Amino acid sequence: MLSVISHANHLPVLTCTKKLDSDFIRLAVQHGADRFLLCTMKAEKIQGLVLEAIQGGGLKEFLQSCCQGTVSRHVRKMIDEIIHAFPYRLHENEIARRLEISRSWVHKLCRQAFGLTFTRLLRRIWVYQALRLMQRTNLDNVEIAEQLNYSEESSLARDFRKELGYSPTEARKRLAEQSPEALLR
C-alpha cells in the first residue's frame, strides 16, 4: 500500500508497506518523491510524526504576526506557554498561574498585544491550526477535530463560524486560493 501526504511546497512524505523495489520507486517518483529512506517505522507512526510537526509548526510565527506593537516579556512568555501546551487548551487561570500574574492582567495583555480576549485568541489559534491541517493533509473534518482535541466535529465547525463566518467545508474551498493567515485577516 502506498500513501502520500503532501505538505505545501515541501517534499511529499511517502509511507508504504512494500519493499523498495523498482516498481515501488517508479510509482513513488510519479507521486513526486525524489528521495528515499528505508525505515522500519510503521506508516501510522510516520504519519503521526508528520501530523505532530504540522500542528506545532508555524504557531509561534502566527502568534507573533498577530501581535500589535512591541512584544513584552509577559506576552513572549504567554506565546511560549500556549505553544508548549498545544494542542491542549490552557484556561485563563492556568496561563495566569504560569505567568505569575492575575487573570485580569492576562485579559489586559491579550487586549494590548493581540486586540482580542484570551478566549478569542485561543479560538483563532485552533482555527488557524485546523486550516493548516486542511491545507497540508488529506484529513477530513472529523479527523482534524480529533487531532486538535475537540470533543466533536461540531465544536470545530462552531469555532469556524465564530472566527471566519463560514463552515470548515467552505474554508477548504477558500484554501485553494488563500493561505490560512489570509483567511484569518
- The reply to whether 70 and 112 lie within a common domain is yes
Q: What is the pTM of this model?
A: 0.71
* Per-residue pLDDT band at 8 (split at 50, 70, 90): very low
Tell me the C-alpha distance between 117 and 91, whole Å. 12
- The reply to whether 68 and 30 lie within a common domain is no
- The reply to whether 179 and 128 lie within a common domain is yes
Q: Which triple of cell numbers denotes residue 23?
A: 516498481
Domain count, the chain: 3
- The reply to whether 129 and 161 lie within a common domain is yes
pLDDT digits (tens, 9 = 90+) for 32-66: 666 655 566 676 766 666 666 555 567 888 888 88
- The reply to whether 152 and 108 lie within a common domain is no
pLDDT digits (tens, 9 = 90+) for 104-133: 999 999 999 999 999 999 999 999 999 999
Q: Which triple of cell numbers denotes residue 97?
A: 498561574
Query: Domain of 73: which CATH number?
Result: 1.10.10
Query: Domain of 144: which CATH number?
Result: 1.10.10.60
